[in-house]
Structures are given as structure tokens and as C-alpha cells.
Amino acid sequence: MTEADLYFLYRGVYVPKLIHTEASLDYFQNFTFRPQDVLIVTYPKSGTTWMQEVVPLIVSGGDPASVETIPNWDRVPWLEEVRASTLNLEGRPSPRMLTTHFHYSMMPPSFFKAKPKVIYVMRNPKDVFTSIFHYSKMASFLVTPDSQSEFLQKFLDGKVIFGSWFDHVSGWLNADDKDRIMYISYEEMIMDLKESVARISQFLEKTLDDEVISKIADRCLFKNMKQNNMSNYSAVPPEVMDPTKSQFLRKGISGDWKNQLTAAEADHFDAVYRDKIKDVQHKFVWD
Ligand SMILES: Nc1ncnc2c1ncn2[C@@H]1O[C@H](COP(=O)(O)OS(=O)(=O)O)[C@@H](OP(=O)(O)O)[C@H]1O
């Protein structure tokens, strides 16, 4: 199936029809944020699910009840997806934990008024590409790549779900009110998860003792999250996500692009990257 079958264009970016509707996007646009909300923002495959585990554990002071009983998509729901409007988010106590894959330029008016806290997670785009490539083979609501080279060009052109990685990252890095945004990378979390949890809890103004921080970091290790049926997507029917084609929690490493891209593809990627990111004043850990 093609993009025309599976996606529609919303403000210039593709979104999958199965999980986004006109009504869900209206809900997003009219959503009323609170200053106390915590919003996880990611380009897909950058560490969303990981952060949907870390943040509730920090907010609960290390109590695992919610991550053991509530699927990540209800625990820290995507505001733009169809489920959001069914979850009575308006009735949830603060701090509400929310997610979006949308670009900064797509945020609704209330976001700029209420100024909730934002945790923006970014990941080496070559690993993002690698992860999406495998995910696109397993998820029935995504276009299956014809070939790696064809899909790579679409990714670099932003003709994939949620548009251009380059626009997403540069938009959020150039956001106003940066003091309410915490920028963190997947790679930093891989390098030192405990330190990352400590930094996130500081940002959320949640004082936790060292032992609790260690426990949270341990729970959020890839091997442990893979066992958590509320976070590993095993509850999704195989006709929607086929685990024989790939896994949602697939490898959980940084640098897997080296096993995926040919030398020529990596060079092409780097050339496009250098050009598109040249005006962004940010020291990326992977550079
Ligand atoms: N705990 C932990 N540690 C390390 N890596 C982890 C963890 N949890 C999720 N992942 C990896 O994150 C990738 C999925 O990204 P997202 O959760 O952002 O996907 S999505 O946007 O919600 O579809 C996907 O990356 P790949 O393994 O490279 O495909 C997941 O395996």
C-alpha cells in the first residue's frame, strides 16, 4: 500500500490514518494545557517509549504501579492520536504526563499560553532511520519500504510519518521559552541512564534519593523494559504489529546504523545532514 492509502497530510506532514483522524487532530488543536503538565516530545523512534517509562516512575517517586498496569499509550498518551479524547485527560490530576510527535510549529495556542514543561528527546538520525525502517516492515499502518535506498531518500526528504527529522529537531531547538524545555538525547541515556534519570527528576523538581534513582534506572534498562508487557507492545494484535517481522523494542542500542547503511548511503546521509543542520546552534552528542 502507498502513502495515499495509509497516510494523510496534516499541516504538511504525513500522519497514519489508522491512529489519527480529523477529530483527533481537532482535539489536539483545542487541547487545554496546564502549566503543571509534563509533555514528552519526540520525532518517532527517538526514545518515546523509554521516556514514557522514566517519567511516570519519577513522578510517582519510584512506585511501579502505573508502569506495571497501564499501557504506555494510556499512561503518557499521544495528544494527536484517536485514543487521547477517550481518556478523560481533562479529569486527570496534575502533573499530567502527555506525549506528542508534532513539530514546534504545529503546537496549539494553549501550549504557548500555559507553558507546560517539555522533555525533548532526540537521537542520532541515522539510528532513527534504521529503527523506522524496521518498524515500517512490522506495522501494518505504515508504508512498507520497497527498498532501503528508496526509503532512505524519503526519510531525507521528510516524506515519511511526521515529516522531516531536520525540521522537527531544528524547530524544537529554536523554540522560545527554552527554560521550560529539557533537551536530552537517546545516546546520553544509553551512556548513563542513572545520571539521565537524576537530571530529569531535577528538571521535574522531584527530589528523589539515590537508591530510588538507581531503581528507576534499573527498571528502565532495555532488557527489563522488554519484559514489561505494558511497555513492549506485546498487547498490540499481530495484524497491526507483526512481531515475526521485527520487534518494537528491537535492539535498543546506539550506532546500529553501522550495520544498516552502506558506506555510500552513510556518506550521502552525512552530506544532507551537514547541509540541513548547518544553521542549528546545538552540539549534538553524535557529532
Ligand atoms: N529502555 C530502552 N533502552 C534503549 N532503547 C529503547 C528502550 N526502550 C525503547 N527503546 C528503543 O527506542 C526505539 C523506539 O523508539 P520510540 O519509542 O520513540 O518509538 S515510537 O516513536 O514511539 O514509535 C527502538 O529502537 P531500535 O531498537 O533501534 O529500533 C527501541 O528499541
Helix (H) or strand (E) holding 117: strand 117-122
Atom of ligand 1 lying closest to residue 101 CA: 21
46 Cα–ligand 1 center, Å: 7
Residue 284 lies in a domain: no
**Is the CB of 6 within 6 Å of ligand 1?**
no
For 276, the grid coordinates are: 540541513
Q: What is the average per-residue pLDDT within 172-185? A: 96
pLDDT of residue 188: 98
At 24 the pLDDT is 98
Cβ neighbors of 168 (< 8 A, separation 6 or more) are 43, 103, 162
Q: Give the per-residue pLDDT at 175.
A: 96
Query: For residue 138, what pLDDT band results from cuts at 50, 70 and 90?
Result: very high
Q: For the chain, what is the mean pLDDT?
A: 97
Residue 281 lies in a domain: no
Distances from the Cα of 155 to the Cαs of 52, 173, 221, in angstroms? 25, 20, 28
Comparing CA positions, the residue from 164, 133, 153, 148 lying closest to residue 14 is 164
Cβ(49) to ligand 1 under 6 A? yes
Burial class (CB in 10 A: 0-12, 13-18, 19+), 92: middle
Span 199-214, average pLDDT: 98
Atom of ligand 1 nearest to the CA of 250: 27
Question: How close is the Cα of 103 to the center of ligand 1, in Å?
Answer: 19
pLDDT-derived band of residue 165, with 50, 70 and 90 as boundaries?
Answer: very high
Q: Which helix (H) or strand (E) holds 184?
A: strand 181-185
CATH number at residue 48: 3.40.50.300
pLDDT band for position 20 (cuts 50, 70, 90): very high
Whether residue 285 lies inside any domain: the answer is no
C-alpha atoms less than 13 angstroms from C-alpha of 237 in its C-beta half-sphere: 4
Give the model's pLDDT for residue 36: 98
Label residues 30-60 b or e (16+ Cβ within 10 Å = b).
Answer: ebebeeebbbbbbbbbbbbbbbbbbbbbbbe
Determine the distance separating the centroid of ligand 1 and the alpha carbon of 186, expressed in angstroms: 9
Domain range for 111 is 3-276
For residue 282, is it within any domain? no
Alpha-carbon distance of 99 to 187, in angstroms, equals 20
Residue 251, ligand 1, Cβ within 6 A: yes
Q: Confirm if 43 and 169 have CB atoms less than 8 A apart.
A: yes
The residues, ordered by sequence, that sit 6+ positions from 122 with a Cβ below 8 Å of its Cβ are 42, 43, 46, 169, 183, 184, 185, 186, 284
162 C-beta closer than 6 A to ligand 1: no
Q: Any catalytic annotation for residue 103?
A: no
Position 25 scores a pLDDT of 97
Predicted structure pTM score? 0.98
Please indicate, yes or no, if residue 77 is contained in any of the structural domains.
yes
CA atoms of 123 and 44, how far apart (whole Å): 10
Domain count, the chain: 1
Q: How far is CA 34 from the centre of its chain?
A: 21
Per-residue model confidence (pLDDT) at position 270: 98
260 domain-assigned: yes
Whether residue 286 lies inside any domain: the answer is no
Whether residue 287 is contained in a domain is answered as no
Q: Ligand 1 centroid vs 113 CA: distance in angstroms?
A: 31
Q: Please tell me the distance from the alpha carbon of residue 187 to that of residue 191, in angstroms, as a whole number.
A: 6
Q: Which atom of ligand 1 is nearest to the CA of 42?
A: 18
Q: Using one digit for the tens of pLDDT, what is the confidence trace for 246-273? A: 999 999 999 999 999 999 999 999 999 9
